[in-house]
Amino acid sequence: MKRIIGVVLAALLASVVLGGCGSESNALKDMKVEKYVTLGEYKGLPAEVAAVTVDETQEAELMKALYMDSVTKELGGITDRAVSLGDTVNIDYEGKKDGVAFQRGTASGDILEIGSGSFIEGFEEGLIGAMPGETRDLELTFPEGYQNPELAGQAVVFTVTVNFILPTEYSDEVVAAIGVPDITTVEEMRQFVHNYLETNARNNYQVTLENALMDGLVSGCVFREIPAAVLEKYYNNVRAGLEADSASQGMDLETYCMYNYRMGSEDFLNQYAEVAAKQSLAVQAVANAENLNISDEELQENLEQYATLGGYDTVEDFLGDLDKEEYREFFLLEKVLDFLTENARITEY
């Protein structure tokens, strides 16, 4: 039953259903929504979606990142030969200018590929030939155009210790230390990574598809004046969610909206409320036309499934202070999106 909904209502549902900031119902199921919206053609909506594939390069990079993060000097690290060009090494370093450590010039357990050009000229070259466990002082000069003007063109000394060289081949021993349940071999880990990326690709496919279908549904509708109570409901719900989120990040609402949405809070909330209201009216109109409304029995059955999945003893425990009618809208949205998908003209590329 769980799914990702890639429409504007997703954030609304997260703030209302999951965030616990419900308001007076204003249930659309009890409205004559046809007074406010006339449906266009909603069967056979076109949607272009990228086919579900797993990028081999991304798969290899994720596998490498997970593996290398678990390599230590004692587990999988190479310590019996000197550093060569092309090696990836685990290092500690401290940079000093005139004998004083400078800001952001110190790190422990940093990963560096020798020859990548990630560090200033001479740093990586200065580690070639070093044995794991060896410490070297590298006398270097920052380039004139360096982004930090306090260091640009300045002579510095980096004291660098090579902890170990990372391996180029994978071992079951290190994989078992990654900590993924029931994954103990390299091949199992490769399959786990592949499945993870494939699941993400399927979720992205669903989000893109549902975005396209919702956009097509709404753009084909003719809307008359939206009820003020509906606009107010969505405005208040999303405002409550944003206020909680902004407070958790130590921001006021205005700063939060400017930072995340590049507009003032009132502009964002009004635009959001209008879009969410139009989507909800259109969804309810399709449900009415196709007899897709959620019955009380269906609502109870869905809530019982959610309560069970969430580990709650009863639906009442699962709901807490929330209104079950908000969940009716959530389940209705799922049902209508399923209908639109079944009747869509989907082109994969």
pLDDT tens digits along 70-112: 999 999 999 999 999 999 999 999 999 999 999 999 999 999 9
Work out the burial of residue 296: count CB atoms within 10 Å of its CB; fewer than 13 is exposed, 13-18 middle, 19 or more buried: exposed
Judge: domain 88-166, CATH 3.80.30.20: no
What would the mean pLDDT of 323-334 be, rounded to a whole number? Answer: 89
DSSP string, 177-246: HH--TT--SHHHHHHHHHHHHHHHHHHHHHHHHHHHHHHHHHHT-EE-PPPHHHHHHHHHHHHHHHHHHH
What would the mean pLDDT of 64-74 be, rounded to a whole number? Answer: 95
> What is the Cβ-side half-sphere exposure of residue 302, based on CA atoms within 13 angstroms?
19
CA nearest to 50, candidates 269, 271, 207, 159: 207
**pTM here?**
0.77
Reported as type and span, the H/E element at residue 328 is helix 324-342
What would the mean pLDDT of 169-178 be, rounded to a whole number? Answer: 96
Q: What is the location of CATH 1.10.3120.10 in the chain?
A: 8-53+189-348
Indicate whether 8 pLDDT > 50. no
Q: How confident is the model at residue 17 (pLDDT cuts 50, 70, 90)?
A: very low
Strand-pairing partners, residue 162, are: 91
Q: Residue 120 — φ and ψ, nearest 5°?
A: -65, 160
CA separation for the pair 22, 12 (Å, rounded): 11
Work out the burial of residue 80: count CB atoms within 10 Å of its CB; fewer than 13 is exposed, 13-18 middle, 19 or more buried: exposed
Indicate whether 22 pLDDT > 50. no
Tokens of residue 349, six digits: 């590329």
Q: How confident is the model at residue 26 (pLDDT cuts 50, 70, 90)?
A: low
Question: Of all residues in the chain, what percent carry a pLDDT higher than 70?
Answer: 93
**8-53+189-348: CATH superfamily:** Trigger factor, C-terminal domain (1.10.3120.10)
CA separation for the pair 116, 191 (Å, rounded): 29
pLDDT at residue 86, rounded to an integer: 96
pLDDT at residue 336, rounded to an integer: 97
How confident is the prediction for the chain on average, in pLDDT? Answer: 91
Give the pairing type, strands 155-165 and 88-97.
antiparallel
Check: CB of residue 140 under 8 Å from CB of residue 148. no
CA nearest to 209, candidates 45, 65, 16, 25: 45
Q: Residue 99 — φ and ψ, nearest 5°?
A: 80, 0
CA separation for the pair 44, 67 (Å, rounded): 46
Q: What is the location of CATH 3.10.50.40 in the chain?
A: 88-166
CA separation for the pair 320, 17 (Å, rounded): 11
